[in-house]
């Protein structure tokens, strides 16, 4: 996990930085230092520690924020590992910022925290006055004590003050913004020939003797290809299930737990009487990641869910079967089996011939593509255009629409091809490039067909918005670089530890 934090993901840091200010309005900030009663430290950054409750609460709130941003495209199951990374990175970076702020002599007064509380509309009664009773109840439920709450607010405010200092330095000039807009709006069109790939035909059919020779002489490569495709040849047993979660809040007394269990048992009785499971899950489930899809958890194998949940899911035999009320550390669950997929296992010996054929076919396609590419290069160097050379070789020439620069380098018909896209804007109109571009498993040659510059009025209308965007990018880059450096320093000093195994995953989430 520390290696992941070292390398990190820029978009994760951007999400973190972009969300810091939000907590002071919505009180969705990350939870504070570890308090008594936690089972172990999940993250330690110098003097700051975050335990299971802090991590899971932060993770759930980050999931809710992503769900709001992504809408129907949000899939909690597919984002399980990513949410863990975001949460761990977010907690670490928040603590790093607070540490630096403290070292620089910055501080947070009690009055600052009180002002934030008084400004929170969620803590006011119908008359607009601050509701102390409501505040006390909320703090006790979420934090356990006002001391823990104040510690968290202080940590959040310190990190915010450090972000403000880092953001004060970058600057974007009018000329820099104008050039950026010009580049954004400039368009180019290319023609290209794409060679090879899965759709390409091998030059001639493979002979059995060639396959047997590969089996005899290239076993190491074939075993490596088998390992690469192990997910296709060795698929464990999987089930697809729905569930309804009746969450038990942390710190609930026995009477509260019994009441929630009773509600779950009543719901189970309704389901046995014919109630629609998906509808009930959508209405009642406390699992934000699955309730919108009727409690559907998708396909999962053994080892991906917490033990009690997994045991109940795999004990169900026929689609439509219901479990009893299942207890996990998150609360009570009811499961319904939707589908069961048997395990599939094919040994190396069973598929070795198939692997040899695929290996030789792929190589034949590459050889043919390289030969065709070299012939096109020779024709271009002799003075022909790519268009004429492709026609003479009876090769299809494709034309893109008007392209603009984009970070992923995507070119319709080719896919992600940053070098091709860059070449479209770096070369003169009409020029055929004697360069063979490797695009995935294909080879491509390019001719620049058209260039369309940005108009001055287009540039002027976008100038201010682009300047703000560039400024935000510079601030993010500066903060990311600073966080990367400080993170590495604390890792080397042994003052930063991440132990996600201490989470224990008390939820029906993938481990």
Helix (H) or strand (E) holding 340: strand 331-341
Q: Is 424 helix (H, G, I), strand (E, B) or coil?
A: helix
- What is the mean pLDDT of the segment spanning 277-292? 92
Tell me, which fold does domain 2-170+470-503 have in CATH?
Triger factor/SurA peptide-binding fold (1.10.4030)
Q: Give the confidence band of 493 by pLDDT, cuts at 50, 70, 90.
A: very high
* Structure-model confidence comparison of residues 367 and 139, the more confident one: 367
| 197-201, 430-434, 504-508: the lowest-pLDDT one | 504-508
Q: Is 261 helix (H, G, I), strand (E, B) or coil?
A: helix
Domain 237-342 is in which class? alpha beta
Q: DSSP for 113-157?
A: HHHHHHT-GGGB-TTS-B-HHHHHHHHHHHTSSHHHHHHHHHHHH
Q: Is the pLDDT of residue 176 over 80?
A: yes
- What is the mean pLDDT of the segment spanning 131-155? 81
Q: Give the confidence band of 19 by pLDDT, cuts at 50, 70, 90.
A: very low
- Distance between CA atoms of 310 and 268, rounded to whole angstroms? 19
Q: Give the confidence band of 204 by pLDDT, cuts at 50, 70, 90.
A: low
Q: What stretch(es) of the chain map to CATH 3.10.50.40?
A: 237-342
3-state SS of 19-58 is HCCCHHHHCCCCCCCCCCCCCCEEEEECCEEEEHHHHHHH
pLDDT for 508 equals 45
- Per residue in 238-271, pLDDT (tens digit) is 999 999 999 998 778 999 999 999 999 999 999 9
Q: DSSP for 474-503?
A: HHHHHHHHHHHHHHHHHHHTT-EEE-GGGG
**R_g (Cα) of the chain, nearest Å:** 29
Tokens representing residue 377 in the block: 């290069």
CATH of 187-203+362-452, one of 3.30.420, 3.40.50, 2.40.40, 3.10.50: 3.10.50
Tokens representing residue 416 in the block: 């992600």
Q: Is 452 helix (H, G, I), strand (E, B) or coil?
A: strand
| Mean pLDDT over the full length of the chain | 86
* Structure-model confidence comparison of residues 17 and 87, the more confident one: 87
400 and 412 in contact (C-beta within 8 Å)? yes
Alpha-helix runs per DSSP H in 168-195: 174-185
Alpha carbon distances (Å) from 501 to 39, 41, 181, 478, 507 = 12, 10, 47, 32, 14
242 and 294 in contact (C-beta within 8 Å)? yes
* Distance from the first to the final alpha carbon of the chain: 14
**Could you tell me how many helices (H) and strands (E) the chain has, helices first?**
19, 15
Q: Is the pTM of this model over 0.85?
A: no
- Per residue in 155-173, pLDDT (tens digit) is 889 999 999 999 998 999 9
Angle in degrees, CA 279, 284, 288, rounded to 5: 100
- What is the mean pLDDT of the segment spanning 117-137? 79
Q: Give the confidence band of 174 by pLDDT, cuts at 50, 70, 90.
A: very high
Q: Is 408 helix (H, G, I), strand (E, B) or coil?
A: coil
Q: What stretch(es) of the chain map to CATH 1.10.4030?
A: 2-170+470-503
Q: Which residues of 343-372 are buried (b: 16+ CB within 10 A; e: fewer)?
A: eeeeeeeebbebbbeebbbbebbbebbeeb
Share of the chain above pLDDT 70, in %: 89
């Amino acid at each position: 996990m520390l290696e992941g934090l070292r390398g990190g993901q820029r978009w994760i840091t951007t999400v973190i930085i972009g969300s810091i200010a939000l907590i002071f309005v919505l009180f969705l900030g990350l939870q504070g230092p570890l308090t008594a009663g936690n089972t172990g430290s999940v993250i330690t950054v110098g003097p700051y520690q975050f335990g299971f409750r802090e991590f899971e609460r932060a993770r759930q709130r980050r999931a809710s924020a992503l769900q709001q941003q992504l809408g129907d495209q949000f899939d909690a199951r597919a984002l399980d590992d990513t949410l863990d990374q975001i949460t761990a990175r977010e907690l670490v970076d928040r603590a790093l910022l607070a540490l630096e702020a403290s070292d620089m002599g910055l501080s947070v007064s009690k009055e600052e925290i009180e002002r934030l509380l008084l400004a929170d509309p969620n803590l006011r009664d119908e008359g607009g006055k601050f509701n102390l009773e409501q505040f006390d109840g909320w703090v006790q439920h979420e934090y356990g004590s006002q001391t823990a709450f104040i510690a968290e607010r202080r940590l959040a405010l310190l990190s915010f003050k450090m972000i403000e200092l880092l953001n004060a330095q970058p600057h974007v000039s009018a000329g820099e913004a104008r050039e950026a807009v010009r580049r954004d709006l400039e368009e180019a069109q290319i023609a290209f020939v794409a060679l090879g790939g899965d759709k390409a035909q091998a030059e001639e059919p493979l002979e059995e003797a060639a396959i047997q020779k590969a089996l005899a002489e290239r076993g190491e490569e074939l075993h490596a290809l088998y390992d690469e495709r192990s997910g296709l040849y060795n698929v464990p047993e999987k089930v697809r299930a729905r569930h309804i979660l009746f969450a038990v809040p942390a710190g609930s007394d026995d009477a509260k737990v019994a009441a929630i269990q009773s509600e779950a048992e009543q719901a189970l009785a309704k389901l046995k009487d014919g109630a629609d499971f998906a509808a009930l899950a959508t209405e009642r489930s406390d699992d934000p990641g699955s309730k919108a899809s009727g409690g559907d958890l998708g396909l999962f194998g053994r080892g991906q869910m917490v033990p009690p949940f997994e045991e109940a899911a795999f004990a169900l035999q026929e689609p439509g079967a219901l479990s009893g009320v299942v207890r996990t550390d998150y609360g009570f669950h009811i499961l319904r089996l939707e589908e069961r997929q048997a395990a599939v296992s094919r040994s190396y010996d069973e598929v070795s011939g198939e692997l040899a054929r695929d290996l030789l076919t792929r190589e034949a396609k590459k050889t043919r593509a390289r030969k065709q590419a070299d012939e096109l290069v020779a024709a271009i160097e002799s003075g022909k255009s790519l268009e004429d050379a492709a026609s003479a070789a009876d090769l299809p020439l494709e034309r893109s629409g008007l392209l603009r620069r984009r970070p992923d380098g995507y070119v319709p018909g080719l896919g992600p091809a940053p070098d091709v896209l860059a070449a479209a804007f770096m070369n003169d109109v009409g020029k055929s490039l004697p360069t063979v571009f490797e695009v995935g498993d294909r080879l491509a040659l390019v001719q620049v067909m058209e260039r369309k510059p940005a108009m001055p009025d287009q540039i002027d209308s976008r100038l201010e918005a682009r300047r703000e965007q560039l400024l935000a990018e510079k601030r993010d880059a500066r903060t990311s670089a600073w966080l990367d450096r400080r993170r590495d320093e604390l890792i080397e000093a042994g003052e930063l530890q991440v132990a996600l195994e201490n989470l224990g995953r008390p939820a029906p989430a993938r481990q």
